[in-house]
Homo-oligomer: A and B are copies of this chain.
Amino acid sequence: MTRASTFTASLPYWLEGRQLPNALPTDEDRMALVHDLADLNWRAGNGGPFAALVVDSATGDVVSAGVNVVLASGLSSTHAEVVALSLAQTTSGSWDLSSGRQLELVVNWRPCVMCYGATIWSGVRRLVIAGSGPECEELTGFDEGPMRDDWREQLEARGISVTSDVLRDRALRTFAEYGASGSTVYNARRD
């Protein structure tokens, strides 16, 4: 048997070729772009209705944009947050995004348990989310994994501040449309 020794994930063509704004001043500006990308992503069939940005908190510079590419890449860990963080680390050449400027992760719901850990290890100093309740699982059918009740305090204890409920209704609309579409819910072991 030949075993793989390398794995790779790439942005879909429509996002790679897309002209993104250089700077997004407000939380709402940042989240509006996340919502646009999340909506485009599931409709294009790349993966779930999720997108994430790594942004310079002070200047609004967009360091990276990621979407969920589980279906396109064939890799179950390529959720939007892992993609955005990995691309930001590729651009910056470091596994620690806390060097130099303060960076933040902007994503259209509370991360799943895997991406929650990925956020902690990445070096971002702030997490901006559209919401955090059970609505995401209820509307999309995804399992988000077993999270601790004190997930927010655990982030803050590690120097990562949390801002929630940014353009929340738009997230719910995307999830509802995704859920109604009959798209593949790519949680493993479905049967």
Contact = CB atoms under 8 A, between A and B. Distances in A.
A5 B1 contact: no
A183 interface: no
Interface stretch (A26-34, A36-44, A69-77, A170-178): A69-77
Could you say which interface size class chain A belongs to?
35 or more
B6 A76 contact: no
B188 A95 contact: yes
Interface stretch (A107-115, A132-140, A161-169): A107-115
B75 A3 contact: no
Interface of A: 1-11, 15-16, 20, 22, 61-65, 70-71, 73-77, 82-83, 85-91, 93-98, 112-118, 120-123, 125, 143, 145-148, 150-151, 154, 158-159, 186-190
Please provide the 6 A-B residue pairs with the shortest distance between their CB atoms, ordered closest to farther: A114-B117, A123-B188, A113-B117, A4-B90, A146-B154, A7-B86
